[in-house]
Structure 1
């Protein structure tokens, strides 16, 4: 059955983004890939910690001079990426640690209207990341709106 292999994001500072995701989410980066013809530089980070170690989650960080210049004009990017933690206390703890370290917290931690418990932060490039507690029921997103 098909599944998502990885998500990718364009960044201006490849090393800073790699360090951020490695430090806060225990990502393990592969070697740097560089394409001298296009200027593309990438790192793929693999995340294996947590209750689903048999599943491999990957994030590709990409930088290319022409894309970076275009992004400054368009402001396009992903909506968010969500990292799952075992429970609410874990979301609270990581959010507090990040805030203390100067990471920008933009929302929460809180229970959302659809029943998730999450906090929202920004990475060094201003991309939204959600920290989600995994202790929600399978039907949480199916709740009727009020």
Structure 2
């Protein structure tokens, strides 16, 4: 069994789509629109085949959490990159483009080299180089 996709709601559908396509090399399908339900979505596919569904719906409220704030439930999405140098360069690129770096690149206690950045909605993203 494998996870088919992960989904998230946003009120900035096009901005979120552009963010993941630009910085994480996602490929987007054509927008799905259901005007009766006030719903729109894209599936973003990454090079490994993992998919992220981004959705916008008129009746969905914005989270009460502050951007980057942690709470129970899903806490982050991690993207694996080839080397620590890629972690550093992507983190620096995102910082230079105005995105929040919530955790500077570092080696974790379990041996991963990672940073934490926030997407335009404040969702936490880890950029991780596997220790193997």
Tell me, yes or no, whether TM beats 0.5: yes
TM-score computed with the length of structure 1 as normaliser: 0.81
Contact 1:9 1:78 in 2 (8 A): no
Work out which of the residue numbers 50, 56, 76 in structure 2 matches 1:57: 50
Work out which of the residue numbers 101, 115, 123 in structure 2 matches 1:105: 101
Work out which of the residue numbers 72, 76, 87 in structure 1 matches 2:63: 72
TM-score computed with the length of structure 2 as normaliser: 0.89
Match of 2:12 in 1: 13
Q: How far apart are the structure 2 equivalents of 1:113 and 1:4?
A: 27
Structure number with the higher helix fraction is 1
Structure possessing the higher radius of gyration over alpha carbons: 1
Change (3 A) 1:116 1:63: same
Match of 2:77 in 1: 81
Cα RMSD, aligned residues only: 1.7
Match of 1:94 in 2: 90
Change (3 A) 1:88 1:73: closer
Q: Structure 2, unaligned stretches of length 5 or more?
A: none
Q: In the TM superposition, what is the alpha-carbon distance from 1:133 to its structure 2 partner?
A: 0.4
Q: In the TM superposition, what is the alpha-carbon distance from 1:108 to its structure 2 partner?
A: 1.6
Q: In the TM superposition, what is the alpha-carbon distance from 1:66 to its structure 2 partner?
A: 1.0
Q: How far apart are the structure 2 equivalents of 1:111 and 1:56?
A: 27
Q: Structure 1, unaligned stretches of length 5 or more?
A: 49-54, 138-146
Q: In the TM superposition, what is the alpha-carbon distance from 1:80 to its structure 2 partner?
A: 0.7
Q: In the TM superposition, what is the alpha-carbon distance from 1:105 to its structure 2 partner?
A: 0.4
